[in-house]
Amino acid sequence: MPNTMILPTAMIEPAAPKQRGYWGSVGNRLRYDPVTVFFGLVVLAIILAAIFAPLLAPFDPYKESIIGRLKPLGWKGHWLGTDELGRDILSRLIHGGRVSLLMGVVPVAIATVVGGTLGVVGGFGGRKVNTAIMRTMDVFYAFPSVLLAVAISGAMGGGAMNGMIALSMVFTPAMCRVAETATAQVKNLDFVEAARATGAGTLTILRYHILGNVLGPVFIYASSLVSVGILLASGLSFLGLGVKPPTADWGLMLSTLRQSIYVNPVVCALPGVAILITSVSFNLLSDGIRSAMDVRM
Amino acid sequence: MDGGFVPTLAPALVEVEDLTVRFVTRDSTAHAVNGVTFSVRPGEVLCILGESGSGKSVTLRALMRLLPPGKTRISGTIKVDGQDVLALSPAELRRLRGGLVSMIFQEPMTALDPVYTIGDQIAETVMRHKGVSKTVALARALELLELVKVPSAASRLNNYPHELSGGLRQRAMIAMALSCGPRLLLADEPTTALDATVQIQVLILLRKLQKEMGMGTIFVTHDLGVASEIADRIAVMYAGRVVEEGPVADILANPLHPYTRGLMASTVHGQDRSRDIDAIPGSPPDLRQLPPGCAFAPRCSLAAGECLSAVPEPRFPAPGRMARCVRLGVPAFA
């Protein structure tokens, strides 16, 4: 073996770059991704519109008018026309976003916490714990998700609250499975053994190594579920299992306007357009965040 | 070491006696380590040499009790710095790991967590053992990276593992292992995954740090060249047993066990290119069904009847030398 040693010697130390945290570098990567930025802004606009709905809506979303029914876009200051009871569509869409977003986001958040925890425990725990958790989740998989949501909502009665509970139950098994798979993959990697070799206890390994590696995929999956949640929530309302009339909700609006499709097709399609824009924006935003969050790219 | 024939200058740092490790599954039992005895003094480098499946990595992990507890059966005694490792409570074990004993792994690719920066990971270990703040721990991490000769260490602290080359990653790994000033360093083929030029750099660095810090080191490798570079003593393992042990120079100059001779004959060292390298015929035994006698006998050209009946007892033909072979007197080795 050669005995010469060529050790790289430290050159003049460059000034240490400003310590940028993980989220700082994610943000930095997002800045160079115009598509994600654009759809992020759309999502932000939708969320802000929902929060400040009473301030933004030009008309009272519940004010009916016998003579102003199903008017076209731009009629008498009603930019997006009026519905079958003469209510301003734009105002109803802005207000409807509240229910739709809530029903899209809250169940996903609940499912992420519950399913994620169950999944990590199932993935990290022994075979018995894993079997108990995962086989229980498999029972939920026996039903198609739409059917399951409809069945749970139907059994508990309509209303936004029951709808959210139903959607949470639909999303939890999927979330659990994603977390379980990610955990099971991570726990057998060398760095977990290396951590153990440096004296890390089980809790430290869970908190630092497992969570750090599992949170990414879980978060990405959750963000992609939001659009599914909005769609399913609209579907429930459309079927009369979600919110009750006259509450403004995109799915419900679509359902009631459906009867007038031959009178004014453009106006009738608008709630669908709102659903489409929202779910596409959430999807593309989640895609962008997915690639920005991957430190290996 | 069987009998403790090495003159004991200082009390041994590691004393392993009759260590046996079996992996029990529903279908079979693998006898990975079968009665291994050795000791390491402070500041000494013991190289465990052997091919895949000879039990060298398992021995190393047993020293830290890193083997999966459910299916592993360990017997014998392991003492590190006077502590009986096999009797430690989980909390004591956590203090031992990374504090008194630390380990460098073979694959720097996967032994570092991909989602945290190098500095963060080293700091995490320092905080765990020393209970210091993150700022202090990061300062220590920077010191360590400079110690292991990582160029522009300050900016490397903020790098993720995938942003570093294999050699730098292994240096970061070494920095992490040294972070709490261990007295015993376990190295599991730390240079195998690196290319040849980086290999020698890392070896020289390890040797230097080991000398400076006075760490006892157990270095596992299958590479005779690496062993000759770093070891004070060599223990050759075959099928879960130490078949030969002694000072590095003596073993390289005059291997006693036929397996060691076979290993050396099968190594490239400037011999005539047109000549084929002498390989040892056959393959290692199945650890689930070890033969009753010498495990090497089926491949050994010197094997006689007595080799097959019982496992050869250790013999001590010279001071500091041990070999488990009944045919030690036979000079010829085809």
pLDDT for B244 equals 92
Structure tokens at A212: 């750090």
Neighbour-count burial of B269, counting CB atoms closer than 10 A to its CB (0-12 exposed, 13-18 middle, 19+ buried): exposed
Cα A166 to Cα A150: distance, rounded to the nearest angstrom: 8
Q: Which of residues 213 through 242 in chain A touch B, CB cutoff 8 A?
A: 213, 216
Q: What is the mean pLDDT of chain B?
A: 86
Nearby residues of A157 by Cβ (< 8 Å), 6 or more positions away: none
pLDDT for B225 equals 85
Residue B128 has pLDDT above 80, yes or no: yes
For residue A259, which amino acid is it? Answer: Q
Residues of chain A in contact with residue B171, where contact means CB-CB under 8 angstroms, are none
- Say if CB B31 and CB B287 are below 8 A apart: yes
Structure tokens at B303: 């094997």
Cα B253 to Cα B273: distance, rounded to the nearest angstrom: 22
Cα A234 to Cα A237: distance, rounded to the nearest angstrom: 5
* Beta pairing, strands B101-104 & B29-40: unpaired
CB atoms A194 and B112 under 8 Å: yes
Q: Which of B107, B115, B121 to mutate to test the interface with A (most CBs of A within 10 A)?
A: B115
- Say if CB B96 and CB B90 are below 8 A apart: no
CB atoms A193 and B115 under 8 Å: no
Cα B169 to Cα B121: distance, rounded to the nearest angstrom: 12
pLDDT for B21 equals 92
pLDDT for A296 equals 60
CA distance A221 to chain B (A): 18
Q: Which region, left, alpha or beta, applies to residue B152 given φ > 0 means left and ψ of -120 to 50 means alpha?
A: left
**Percentage helix, strand, coil for chain A under 3-state DSSP, each rounded to 5:** 70, 0, 30
pLDDT for B331 equals 56
Q: How confident is the model at residue B330 (pLDDT cuts 50, 70, 90)?
A: low
* Beta pairing, strands B45-49 & B72-80: unpaired
Task: Identify the residue with better confidence: B208 or A23.
Answer: B208
Q: What are the C-alpha distances in Å from B238 to residues A74, B86, B259?
A: 88, 24, 8
Residue the block writes with tokens 């770059």: A17
CA distance A5 to chain B (A): 6
Task: Identify the residue with better confidence: B268 or B324.
Answer: B324
Closest residue in A to B125 (Cα–Cα): A198
Neighbour-count burial of B206, counting CB atoms closer than 10 A to its CB (0-12 exposed, 13-18 middle, 19+ buried): buried
CA distance A17 to chain B (A): 6
Q: Which of A198, A211, A293 to mutate to test the interface with B (most CBs of B within 10 A)?
A: A198
Q: How far is CA B214 from the centre of its chain?
A: 17
- Say if CB B49 and CB B189 are below 8 A apart: no
Closest C-alpha among B182, B70, B163 to residue B119: B163
CA distance A191 to chain B (A): 4
Cα B275 to Cα B290: distance, rounded to the nearest angstrom: 34
Residues of chain A in contact with residue B113, where contact means CB-CB under 8 angstroms, are 191, 195, 208-209, 212-213
pLDDT for A33 equals 83
* Beta pairing, strands B322-323 & B101-104: unpaired
Helical packing angle, A250-257 and A89-124, nearest 10°:
130
Q: In which element (H, E) is residue B138 found? A: helix B134-147
Cα A154 to Cα A148: distance, rounded to the nearest angstrom: 10
pLDDT for B46 equals 94
> Count of CB contacts below 8 A, A vs B?
111
pLDDT for A17 equals 43
CB atoms B115 and A212 under 8 Å: yes
Cα B21 to Cα A189: distance, rounded to the nearest angstrom: 22
Structure tokens at A146: 């739409």
Average pLDDT along chain A, 297 residues, taken 10 residues at a time:
44 43 75 86 88 78 73 71 76 84 90 93 88 89 83 81 87 92 88 87 87 85 85 83 79 81 80 87 86 69
For residue B142, which amino acid is it? Answer: L
Q: Is the peptide bond before A246 cis (omega within 30 degrees of 0)?
A: yes
In percent, the amount of chain B with pLDDT more than 70 equals 94
Closest C-alpha among B220, B149, B223, B213 to residue B190: B220
Supply the DSSP symbol for A209.
I
Angle, alpha carbons A129-A130-A136 (nearest 5°): 95
Q: How many residues does this entry show for chain B?
A: 334
pLDDT for A20 equals 56
Q: Edge-to-edge strands of the sheet including B72-80? A: B29-40, B14-24, B72-80, B83-84
Nearby residues of B189 by Cβ (< 8 Å), 6 or more positions away: B57, B106, B220, B221, B222
Tell me if residue A60 falls in helix, strand or coil: coil
CATH topology of domain A35-61+72-293: MetI-like fold (1.10.3720)
pLDDT for B59 equals 92
Closest C-alpha among B15, B151, B131 to residue B81: B15
Residues of chain B in contact with residue A297, where contact means CB-CB under 8 angstroms, are none
Q: Which of A20, A22, A191 is closest, CB to CB, to B113? A: A191
> Which phi and psi angles does A75 have, rounded to 5°?
-75, 120
Convert the pLDDT of each residue in B172-194 to its tens digit: 998 988 888 899 999 988 888 88
Average pLDDT of the segment spanning B267-280? 74
Going from N- to C-terminal start, the domains of chain B cover 1-100+183-270+277-292, 113-181
Task: Identify the residue with better confidence: B198 or A16.
Answer: B198
Structure tokens at A129: 């714990």
Q: How many residues does this entry show for chain A?
A: 297
Cα B333 to Cα B311: distance, rounded to the nearest angstrom: 20
CB atoms A6 and B162 under 8 Å: no
Q: Specify the CATH superfamily of domain B1-100+183-270+277-292.
A: P-loop containing nucleotide triphosphate hydrolases (3.40.50.300)
Convert the pLDDT of each residue in B221-255 to its tens digit: 988 888 888 899 999 999 989 999 999 999 988 88
Cα B184 to Cα B202: distance, rounded to the nearest angstrom: 18
CB atoms B64 and A14 under 8 Å: no
